[in-house]
């Protein structure tokens, strides 16, 4: 894979928070202009990988590059939609205002949005089907509606890659279908999409998969990564169902390892 086809290149990268290692030394690549899923049990390092790609955390050792450069920075080409955005309860922020916050990397705190900027916000609301909610406050929305707002905020930011942390977990049908459409339309536009998931079917439907278990067990096309042997390595013997090839998360793994708001989910 040539450099212009790569979104991410990592070499012996070790990731964690302060002195707590979340991802042991791992080397992997993520292609540009493809949909990549990161899958593994709770606490396996999925969200930590996203944080490193976004530049939220720096490696404890090893190297990771995004588009051949150090990750992060105000003018990053990566839009990161986290599993939940922290707005204090009761904050009087409307849907339109929340989505317009995606303009911050371009405008900063005091820049005035141009007509093109306002059009980007409007297009994002239309694509995520939240236009009719524009003047509603975030705390008035359902979980699925809020997730669509957060994805719309990411879409408003100028980007070449979209990072999504468990974007389809626990959503209503309309929200899940809408966000799934975004994932595939982003790829069709020549952008990269990287998302974390607990769902084996979502992983199989991607172009590229990273299988996690405190380190990268395997990375590559789904058929090469999601083998029974690799899944047993990641999830442990007894985590697999012989009847249908699907699997369940190991209930003994503590999701707090990743410093994320983990929710124990079974694949659909």
Q: How many whole angstroms separate alpha carbon 145 and alpha carbon 80?
A: 18
Q: How many whole angstroms separate alpha carbon 154 and alpha carbon 103?
A: 9
- The pLDDT of 242-268, averaged and rounded, is 41
Strand 20-31 vs strand 161-164: parallel, antiparallel, or unpaired?
unpaired
Sign of dihedral through CA atoms 236, 241, 244, 248? negative
Taking the CA atoms of the chain, what radius of gyration do you get in angstroms?
18
Asked if 27 and 11 count as a contact pair (C-beta separation under 8 A), the reply is yes
Residue 19 has a pLDDT of 81
What's the pLDDT tens digit per position in 111-161? 676 777 788 899 999 999 999 999 998 888 898 999 999 999 989 888 899
**Mean of all residue pLDDT scores within the chain:** 84
- Helix extents (H) in 72-199: 95-100, 104-107, 115-127, 143-156, 173-188
Residue 252 has a pLDDT of 38
CATH architecture of 3-258: 3-Layer(aba) Sandwich (3.40)
Q: How many whole angstroms separate alpha carbon 155 and alpha carbon 20?
A: 32
Residue 264 has a pLDDT of 34
Cβ count within 10 A of residue 67: 18
Q: How many whole angstroms separate alpha carbon 227 and alpha carbon 3?
A: 28
Query: Could you give the percent of the chain with pLDDT greater than 90?
Result: 61
Is 60 exceeded by the pLDDT of residue 208? Answer: yes
Phi, psi of 145 (to 5 degrees): -65, -45
Of 18 and 28, more confident? 28
The DSSP 8-state label assigned to residue 240 in this structure reads B
Whole-model pTM: value is 0.83
Of 173 and 90, more confident? 173
Half-sphere exposure for 6 (CA within 13 Å, toward CB): 16
Q: How many whole angstroms separate alpha carbon 53 and alpha carbon 79?
A: 10
- Helix extents (H) in 141-210: 143-156, 173-188, 200-205
């Amino acid at each position: 894979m040539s450099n212009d086809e790569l979104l991410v290149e990592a070499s012996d990268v070790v990731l964690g928070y302060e002195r707590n290692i979340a991802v042991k030394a791992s080397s992997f690549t993520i292609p540009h202009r493809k949909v990549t899923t990161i899958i593994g049990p709770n606490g396996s390092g999925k969200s930590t990988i996203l944080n490193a790609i976004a530049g939220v955390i720096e490696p404890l050792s090893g190297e990771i590059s995004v588009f051949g450069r150090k990750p992060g920075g105000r003018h990053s080409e990566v839009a990161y939609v986290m599993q939940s955005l922290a707005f204090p309860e009761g904050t009087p922020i409307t849907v339109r205002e929340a989505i317009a916050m995606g303009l911050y990397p371009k405008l900063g705190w005091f820049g005035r949005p141009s007509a093109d900027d306002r059009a980007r916000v409007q297009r994002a609301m239309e694509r995520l089907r939240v236009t009719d909610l524009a003047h509603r406050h975030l705390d008035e929305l359902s979980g699925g509606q809020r997730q669509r707002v957060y994805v719309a905020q990411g879409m408003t930011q100028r980007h070449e890659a979209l990072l999504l942390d468990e974007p389809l977990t626990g959503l209503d049908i309309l929200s899940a279908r809408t966000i799934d459409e975004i994932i595939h339309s982003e790829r069709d536009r020549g952008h990269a999409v990287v998302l974390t998931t607990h769902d084996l079917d979502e992983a199989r439907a991607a172009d590229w998969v990273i299988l996690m278990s405190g380190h990268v067990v395997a990375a590559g096309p789904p058929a090469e990564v999601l083998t029974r042997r690799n899944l047993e390595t990641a999830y442990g013997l007894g985590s697999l169902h012989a009847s249908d090839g699907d699997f369940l998360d190991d209930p003994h793994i503590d999701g707090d390892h990743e410093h994320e708001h983990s929710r124990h989910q079974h694949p659909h």
